[in-house]
Every structure is written in structure tokens, then in C-alpha cells.
Amino acid sequence: MYIDLHCDTLWKFMEDKGQRNLLHNSFSVDIERLRKGNSLLQLFACFVPSAQIEDGYEYGMKMIAIMEDQEKLWKNQFSIVTSMEEVWKNHGLDKQNGMLTVEDGGMLCGRLERLDDLYKKRIRLMTLLWNDENCIGYPNSTDPGIMNKGLKPFGFEVVQRMNELGMIVDVSHLSDGGFWDVIKHSKEPVLASHSNSRNLCNHPRNLTDEMVKALANHGGIIGVNFYHRFIDDALEEGLLDRLTEHIVHMRNQGGIDLIALGTDFDGITGPLEIPDCGQMELLWMALRRKGFSEADIEKIQYKNAARFLNEVLK
Ligand SMILES: [Zn+2]
């Protein structure tokens, strides 16, 4: 059983209408393979790269509508949930769970009331940035002039309102300056939904040891990312083993209670040995080879994420 904090399958649905089928498709995530992989909860991102889309808000609303349609179509097998209570209830009924998120808070276009509307539409997590500057702040970057920039004034308002609503603040993609602003100002624990260790793979999308420790100290979690460029840019083989080294390293920095999963399925392509959500067993086997106990593997699979979601969602 596992919880995955990030996939981009909805983005695939926008690109390829013919394959818009959550029960069965040729992408990396569908209900059939979630069942096969024994998923407890899959988070689905409404990925709106706001700097590249004229009206990101409309685009995001279309994505939500697609998921609502899919939920109706497969209502006996799948539900969109907003709490862990619903997750466990559906699990008992042998149904698959999905939770809606927004990737790139730029779709707010500086309008705080849109956050409340997204909440009503059952969005329960927002990744503040993607890879472009938006109304909230600045993205991860190799340019220190950008990387050190903090949140914009509107960004602070967004974090505060998300805390009030019980919407999860996601710092993946954010500039380092923005990360520290969120850590300092968020009243609730925050997470990095799909990021790895910068110590092991020097990419600005990854987290420094200080960030890993800060997340741990604030009750946060980190979803490890399956993208090969965030695991090891030089490797063509053995990426799964290398991914477990990221897990070992971040555990050593922040403790086992910090580690969760954020596969990034359908947002990535590459040579990692796990091509889709039906084959997560390969990761559990790799963790056993690395010496992780069954109790620790369960924490990584779902217990840490479940604890976090239970705490932050209202
Ligand atoms: Zn992303």
C-alpha cells in the first residue's frame, strides 16, 4: 500500500484527448494499475505552467472538470477525496482514491479569492511555483540572483490563506529564498511533494541538507522524485539503487518520518527501472536490499504521508 504525492497524468489528458481515460490508458497512471500497485491514494496535479498559458485559471478549471467527469464515469471504482478519513473509508470499499492539487500557483493571477474557489473545487494542495516567476515568487534556478529571491508580498498572503483553509503548501520548484520564507512564515507543516537531495545530485530542483533538516523540524515530508535528472544526471543504469541512496541520505539528515513518495509519473520520461504505478513493488524490493526494515518501508510507502495529510487537512 502506498501514497504518491505527485503525478502529471491530467496534463497528459489535456495533450491527448483520445487517451482521456482514468480507468485504462497508455500513460503511467490509471485506476487498473493503481489497483495492481496497491495504491492507497494518488495525488493528481492540475499542471498549469502559468507563464506559458494565457489564462491559466480557465485551463486549470478545465482539468478539474475532466477529473470530475472521470470520477462520475468510474464512480464504483474511484473517488476524489479531501481527507484521510475518506481515503480509509474508500479503501475499505475497495475503491481507488485520488486527490486534486494545483502545480503552479501562478494560476491565481494575484487574486486571493481564487484560492477559496479552488478549495471549493476540492483542491487540497498547491505547489506554489513551477519553473517560471509568478505572482507568488521565483523559481528554482542556477542563477543565484533568482535562487536567493524570497516570496513576493502576495506570496505571503497566499501561504497565510492556505494555512487558514487547510490547503497544503508545497515548496517543490520554489527558489531557495522562497523556501526559507515559507518555512519561517507557514503556521502549518509544509512538504516538498517531488524533490530529491541536492547533496547527491546537484540540481536546483533538489533540496540541500539544511532544507531537509528544516522540513523535518517543522513536521514536513519529502516525496522522492523518480526523474533521472534529479537522481543522477550521469547514470544510465542503476538509477533505482541510486534513488534509494537519496532516501538513505535524506533519512540520515532528517529522520525516517520525513520520507514519502512523489513519483512525478507522466511528467517525466527516462531510464528509471519503474515505468508506471503498477510496478511500485520494484522500489519496495530495492529498499529491502538497502537494509530498510519493513516498519520503515511502511512509513515511506504511506504512513508518513498519511500522518501529514491527517494533520494539515481540515
Ligand atoms: Zn513538478
Q: What are the DSSP calls for 38-77, one per residue?
A: TEEEEEEEEE--GGGSTTHHHHHHHHHHHHHHHHHHTTTT
- Of 184, 179, 183, the C-alpha closest to 198 is 179
Residue 314 pLDDT > 90, yes or no?
A: no
Instruction: Say how far apart CA 92 and CA 98 lie, in whole Å.
Output: 15
Residue 190 pLDDT > 90, yes or no?
A: yes
Instruction: Say how far apart CA 254 and CA 285 lie, in whole Å.
Output: 23
* Residue 173 CA, ligand 1 centroid: distance in Å: 7
Residue 50 pLDDT > 90, yes or no?
A: no
Instruction: Give the pLDDT score at 51.
Output: 84
* Residue 98 CA, ligand 1 centroid: distance in Å: 18
Strand-pairing partners, residue 50, are: none
Q: Is the overall model pTM greater than 0.95, yes or no?
A: yes
Q: Please, are residues 108 and 137 in contact by the beta-carbon 8 Å criterion?
A: no
Instruction: Give the pLDDT score at 302.
Output: 98
* Residue 131 CA, ligand 1 centroid: distance in Å: 8
Instruction: Give the pLDDT score at 53.
Output: 85
- Of 181, 223, 221, 250, the C-alpha closest to 310 is 221
Q: Which amino acid is at 281?
A: E
Instruction: Say how far apart CA 37 and CA 46 lie, in whole Å.
Output: 23
User: Count of CB atoms within 10 A of residue 33's CB?
Assistant: 19
H/E stretch holding 254: helix 239-254
- Of 172, 247, 186, 180, the C-alpha closest to 214 is 180
Instruction: Give the pLDDT score at 141.
Output: 98
Instruction: Give the pLDDT score at 244.
Output: 98
Instruction: Give the pLDDT score at 270.
Output: 86
Cell numbers of 159, please? Answer: 501561504
Instruction: Give the pLDDT score at 158.
Output: 98
Q: Please, are residues 264 and 226 in contact by the beta-carbon 8 Å criterion?
A: yes
Instruction: Give the pLDDT score at 59.
Output: 93
**Burial class (CB within 10 angstroms; exposed 0-12, middle 13-18, buried 19+) of 87:** buried
* Residue 256 CA, ligand 1 centroid: distance in Å: 23
Lowest mean pLDDT among 36-45, 54-63, 87-96, 118-127: 54-63
**Per-residue pLDDT band at 73 (split at 50, 70, 90):** very high
* Residue 206 CA, ligand 1 centroid: distance in Å: 11
Residue 58 pLDDT > 90, yes or no?
A: yes
Rounded to the nearest integer, the mean pLDDT of the chain is 97
Residue 236 pLDDT > 90, yes or no?
A: no
Residue 197 pLDDT > 90, yes or no?
A: yes
* Residue 200 CA, ligand 1 centroid: distance in Å: 19
* Residue 120 CA, ligand 1 centroid: distance in Å: 23
Average pLDDT estimate for 45-74:
93
**Per-residue pLDDT band at 10 (split at 50, 70, 90):** very high
